[in-house]
Chains A and B, each alone.
Chain A
Amino acid sequence: MALSIASREVDGVTVLDLSGRITLGEGSVQLREAIRDLISKGSKNILLNLGDVNYIDSSGLGELVSAYTTSKNQGANLKLLNLTKKVKDVLQLTKLYTVFDVLDDEASAIASYK
């Protein structure tokens, strides 16, 4: 299943609800464009909800890293929410888990931006 992305605003935080796979050709480009779009619109607080992402490949990991770096360089704060076990395992294996700010509860995640 390709990646679908829905955007919503919660207390000044832009939440992107991602569903599907983040892989080369099946989602990495959509994610890149979504982040660029938010940055260009001046979003400073971005929360990626990965609760329905059950598959990520090395290209998808690269896109998450790029999203994080792009956001940071533009003064935005990007965090990850609701990692599935598979995505969490891959992030831990590649030592990226410690790079990102990862949260398990949306209310706490939203509050963490204040």
Chain B
Amino acid sequence: MNKPDTGKMTFTLPSTMESVSEVEAAAEKMATEAGFDEDELFKLAMAVREAAVNAVLHGNDYDPTKKIAVSLENTGKSLVMTIADQGNGLDPDSLPDPLAPENLMRGTGRGIFLIRSFMDEVRFRQLDPGTELTMIKHLPAEGGAAS
């Protein structure tokens, strides 16, 4: 496998579903170029999509005056993907466990769980205003599968 190209792209987007699709497509393209297999690509793209939906919908509430700031970086060792919103903030520790029996049949509340399941590292940082979510996925080892 060729050594993945390092690089970083940043963009600021409106709080729309079109932005969600744009971020997902950009992340999937970067991950493809970094050598992830189809299974890992699916997980990575879904995590990024969930994060973008959270920012656009739950963070910014589709507010046309609020933007999401996106950074996608291939460091050569990992993909580091950051999405920030301008919403009221999020306490990740207060989220209900979607696997708990009393929450299993809820229609919502699985997004952060999926992100944490699919990425190697997930960090939240509170902004003023807003929330920044950083997701890290280690690159596949040469000649081997991704972790």
Binding site for B on A (CB under 8 A): 23-25, 55, 57-59, 61-63, 65-66, 68-69, 86, 90, 93-96, 99
* Residue from the set B46, B107, B108 with the largest chain A CB neighbour count within 10 Å: B107
B99 within 8 A of A: yes
Question: Which of B71-79, B110-118, B121-129, B134-142 lies on the face that meets chain A?
Answer: B110-118
Complex-state Cα separation, A68 to B106, whole angstroms:
11
Complex-state Cα separation, A4 to B118, whole angstroms:
27
Indicate if the CB atoms of B107 and A62 lie closer than 8 Å: yes
Chain B: residues with Cβ within 8 Å of the partner, total of: 21
Complex-state Cα separation, A66 to B110, whole angstroms:
14
Binding site for A on B (CB under 8 A): 17, 20, 42, 46, 49-50, 53, 57, 98-99, 104-111, 113-114, 117
**Dominant secondary structure at the A interface:** helix
Closest to B117 in A: A93
18 new A-B contacts, CB < 8 A, other than A58-B109, A58-B114, are A23-B49, A24-B20, A25-B17, A25-B20, A57-B114, A58-B108, A58-B111, A59-B53, A61-B110, A62-B106, A62-B108, A62-B110, A65-B105, A90-B46, A90-B114, A94-B114, A95-B104, A99-B105
Indicate if the CB atoms of A99 and B17 lie closer than 8 Å: no
**Dominant secondary structure at the B interface:** helix
Closest to A64 in B: B107
Q: Which residues does chain A contribute within 8 Å of B105, judged by CB atoms?
A: 65, 68-69, 99
> Distance (Å) between the CB of A70 and the closest chain B CB?
10
Indicate if the CB atoms of B50 and A95 lie closer than 8 Å: no
Given contacts A94-B99, A94-B113, contact A57 B107 (CB under 8 A): no
A-B contact pairs, 28 of them (CB 8 A): A23-B49, A24-B17, A24-B20, A24-B53, A24-B57, A57-B53, A57-B111, A58-B50, A58-B53, A58-B110, A58-B114, A59-B53, A62-B106, A62-B108, A63-B107, A65-B105, A65-B106, A68-B105, A86-B42, A90-B46, A90-B114, A93-B114, A93-B117, A94-B99, A94-B113, A94-B114, A95-B99, A99-B105
